Amino acid sequence: MGLVYDGSNKTKEKYCLNDILYCGPVVLRDFVGILIRIPTHGILIFSEIEKTFHMACLHPKIRDCTHLYWPKNLT
């Protein structure tokens, strides 16, 4: 069994975990900008992020409790 924390739950001092966590820089490009540039270049490439899940630092004992479901066919 793993613990799940509600990061939006506020304390008596009106703080929540989500408010005090460090927010790093945005490392992804602006999605709207990408959508706008698609007609300009005429090519759009998608890639799988399935292996990214395995890069997350999860304790081996709780990995079986977390599953992502990937569609086999999007059409």
Q: Per residue in 15-52, pLDDT tens?
A: 888 888 777 777 666 777 777 777 777 766 665 555 55
Average pLDDT on 4-22 reads 81
Ramachandran area for residue 41 (φ above 0: left; ψ -120 to 50: alpha; else beta): alpha
Residues 27, 30, 35, 39, Cα dihedral to 10°: -90
Answer whether residue 14 shows pLDDT above 80: yes
What pLDDT is stored for residue 54 in this prediction?
Answer: 55
Tokens of 13: 């001092």
Average pLDDT on 65-69 reads 63
Q: Print burial letters for 53-68: b (CB count within 10 Å at least 16), e (below 16).
A: eeeeeeeeeeeeeeee
Question: Among 2-6, 16-20, 67-71, which is the least confidently predicted range?
Answer: 67-71
